[in-house]
Amino acid sequence: MSDGGLVAAQVLWDIALFIVIVAIVPLVLVLAARLVHASKAIAIEFKVTLAAAGGVARNTQPTAEALNQTIATAGAILATAGKINDHSASIESLLTQRAGNGR
């Protein structure tokens, strides 16, 4: 390679280095700063949310026993409703038979 070719290569490398220093490095720094700022904001929001969730857990704890009783009662009501449905079907069948026999 001639001296002119080496100089041209050196000039191209200098231009590329200048572009990296002037454009790419500041862009990376700005993006890194935005990332740090966003992560701090997320950390703050997480702390607030965690505190609120703890409050919700404390405030709803007394209702846990009542919820369990409601679930148990709902099961009993459902069983009774099933029995009523069965008896209603029996009554319907009996009335249909009587209506068919002319009684």
Residue 74: pLDDT band (50, 70, 90) is very high
Residue 4: pLDDT band (50, 70, 90) is confident
Q: Would you state the pLDDT for residue 5?
A: 82
In this predicted model, what pLDDT tens digit does every residue of 45-55 receive, in sequence order?
999 999 999 99
Task: Say whether both 67 and 30 belong to one domain.
Answer: no
Round the average pLDDT of the chain to a whole number and report it. Answer: 90
Task: Say whether both 48 and 83 belong to one domain.
Answer: no
Q: Would you state the pLDDT for residue 1?
A: 62
Q: What average pLDDT does the segment 59-83 reach?
A: 90
CA angle 91, 94, 100 (to 5 degrees): 140
Task: Say whether both 1 and 30 belong to one domain.
Answer: yes
Q: Is 102 left (phi over 0), alpha (psi -120 to 50) or beta?
A: left
Total domain count for the chain?
A: 2
Between the CA of residue 46 and those of 40, 41, 56, what are the distances in Å? 10, 9, 15
Task: Say whether both 67 and 46 belong to one domain.
Answer: no
CA 92 to chain centre: 49
Instruction: State yes or no: pLDDT of 101 exceeds 80.
Output: no
Q: Would you state the pLDDT for residue 61?
A: 86
Task: Say whether both 42 and 68 belong to one domain.
Answer: no
Q: What average pLDDT does the segment 50-67 reach?
A: 90
Provide the domain limits for residue 4.
1-61
